[in-house]
């Protein structure tokens, strides 16, 4: 099964998506399953994981409804308030839906760089394993030290790093991101998505060679068995079209064995997100 492990849907509303600035004008419209499905078919994708873009229970419900209506949506990574007093009740309700595979919080937008180490957040993370849910880690390189601590504290909790932790591709900098990712990868419960890379490169002026060194790092650190392709559609379209994003990864892994390529292009995601 070839799977896109990371994409988004939304009905555009300026108030709900304030992060879409003037450079992202093409994102400022609805992006729905009917827009994505033909792109998936052209790229040979059998399914996707729809990931939250707003920190809202209503969005989580909406994504689960979309998954029920569209068979190619194999799973949802939603949002619940991991710090909330009603967390256990909300997890009980949402996790009863087999399409909910995990949750995410937009940590890199939190003003507190130590947000992941807050006691209320950690109490929330502790509850996820009991509901069979994974956690997507959305961070910048400066948050990696705390991600390393988080993975060690909850060694039975499956984690996946979104967008290879957004390294400084535009500046061509590898360190200290590389060293920290290598340390994080030593935790066997942590996986990584080959996603969101093109938007960290120079929009409109990127080359595959700009991105390849960063993919080299995570391939060596995590191996194909803990690495998964994700498009980050439609966010990726500010810098590249869907087929270009797929091509970046497929070209990069072309020299690997067929089994290793299959892992990165779907099998790893299917196992991590428990897709039958």
pLDDT tens per residue across span 96-110 = 999 999 999 999 999
The share of the chain scoring above pLDDT 70, in percent, equals 100
* Cβ-based neighbours of 194, under 8 Å, separated by 6 or more: 164, 215, 218, 227, 228, 229, 230, 249, 264
List, for residues 246-268, the tens digit of each pLDDT value: 999 999 999 999 999 999 999 99
What pLDDT, on a 0 to 100 scale, did the predictor assign at position 19? 87
- Section 223-244 average pLDDT: 98
DSSP 115: G
Domain encompassing residue 156: 3-272
What pLDDT, on a 0 to 100 scale, did the predictor assign at position 18? 86
What pLDDT, on a 0 to 100 scale, did the predictor assign at position 162? 98
What pLDDT, on a 0 to 100 scale, did the predictor assign at position 179? 98
Mean pLDDT of the chain: 97
List, for residues 76-99, the tens digit of each pLDDT value: 999 999 999 999 999 999 999 999
The share of the chain scoring above pLDDT 90, in percent, equals 95
* Nearest Cα residue to 195 out of 218, 174, 223: 218
| Whether residue 212 has pLDDT greater than 90 | yes
Distances (CA, A) of 40 to 36, 101, 229: 6, 20, 13
What pLDDT, on a 0 to 100 scale, did the predictor assign at position 264? 98
The Cα–Cα gap between 222 and 189 comes to 11
Q: How do 190-194 and 159-161 pair as beta strands?
A: parallel
The Cα–Cα gap between 47 and 87 comes to 29
The partner residues of 228 in beta bridges, in order of sequence, read 193
What pLDDT, on a 0 to 100 scale, did the predictor assign at position 57? 97
What pLDDT, on a 0 to 100 scale, did the predictor assign at position 14? 87
DSSP 45: -
Tokens 């419209």 map to which residue? 29
| Whether residue 63 has pLDDT greater than 90 | yes
The Cα–Cα gap between 159 and 167 comes to 18
Report the CATH number that the domain containing residue 140 is assigned in CATH: 3.20.20.140
At 220, the pLDDT band (50, 70, 90 cuts) reads: very high
| Whether residue 199 has pLDDT greater than 90 | yes
Taking residue 39's Cβ as centre, other Cβ atoms within 10 Å add up to 19
What pLDDT, on a 0 to 100 scale, did the predictor assign at position 36? 98
What pLDDT, on a 0 to 100 scale, did the predictor assign at position 108? 94
- Section 116-141 average pLDDT: 97
- Section 128-132 average pLDDT: 97
What pLDDT, on a 0 to 100 scale, did the predictor assign at position 22? 86
- Please answer whether residues 254 and 83 qualify as being in contact, where contact means their C-beta atoms are separated by less than 8 angstroms: no
- Please answer whether residues 43 and 53 qualify as being in contact, where contact means their C-beta atoms are separated by less than 8 angstroms: no
At 276, the pLDDT band (50, 70, 90 cuts) reads: confident
Q: How do 190-194 and 227-229 pair as beta strands?
A: parallel
The partner residues of 135 in beta bridges, in order of sequence, read 103, 159
Radius of gyration of the chain measured on its C-alpha atoms? 17
List, for residues 145-188, the tens digit of each pLDDT value: 999 999 999 999 999 999 999 999 999 999 999 999 999 999 99
What pLDDT, on a 0 to 100 scale, did the predictor assign at position 146? 98
What pLDDT, on a 0 to 100 scale, did the predictor assign at position 99? 98
Residue 54: is it exposed, middle or buried by C-beta count within 10 angstroms (0-12/13-18/19+)?
Answer: middle
| Backbone torsions φ then ψ of 161, nearest 5 degrees | -85, 120
- What is the tally of structural domains in the chain? 1
């Amino acid at each position: 099964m070839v799977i896109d492990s990371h994409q988004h849907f939304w009905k555009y509303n300026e108030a709900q998506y304030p992060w879409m600035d003037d450079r992202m004008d093409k994102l400022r419209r609805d992006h729905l399953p009917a827009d994505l499905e033909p792109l998936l078919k052209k790229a040979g994708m059998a399914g996707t994981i729809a990931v939250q873009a707003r920190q809202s229970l209503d969005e989580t419900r909406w994504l689960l409804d979309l998954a029920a209506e569209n068979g190619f949506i194999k799973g949802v990574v939603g949002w619940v308030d991991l710090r909330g007093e009603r967390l256990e009740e909300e997890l009980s309700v949402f996790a009863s839906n087999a399409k909910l595979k995990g949750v995410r919080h937009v940590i890199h937008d939190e003003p507190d760089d130590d947000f992941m180490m807050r006691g209320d957040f950690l109490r929330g993370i502790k509850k996820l394993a009991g509901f069979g849910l994974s956690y997507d880690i959305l961070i910048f390189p400066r948050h990696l030290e705390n991600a390393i601590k988080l993975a060690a504290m909850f060694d039975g909790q499956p984690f996946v790093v979104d967008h290879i932790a957004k390294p400084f591709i535009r500046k061509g900098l590898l360190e200290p991101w590389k060293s920290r990712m290598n340390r994080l990868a030593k935790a066997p419960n942590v996986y990584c998505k080959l996603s969101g890379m093109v938007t960290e490169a120079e929009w409109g002026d990127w080359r595959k060679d700009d991105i390849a060194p960063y993919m080299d790092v995570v391939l060596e650190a995590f191996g194909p068995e803990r690495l998964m392709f994700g498009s980050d559609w439609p966010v990726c379209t500010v810098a590249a079209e869907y087929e270009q994003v797929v091509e970046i990864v497929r070209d990069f892994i072309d020299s690997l064995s067929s089994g290793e390529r299959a892992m990165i292009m779907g099998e790893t995601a299917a196992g991590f997100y428990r897709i039958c």
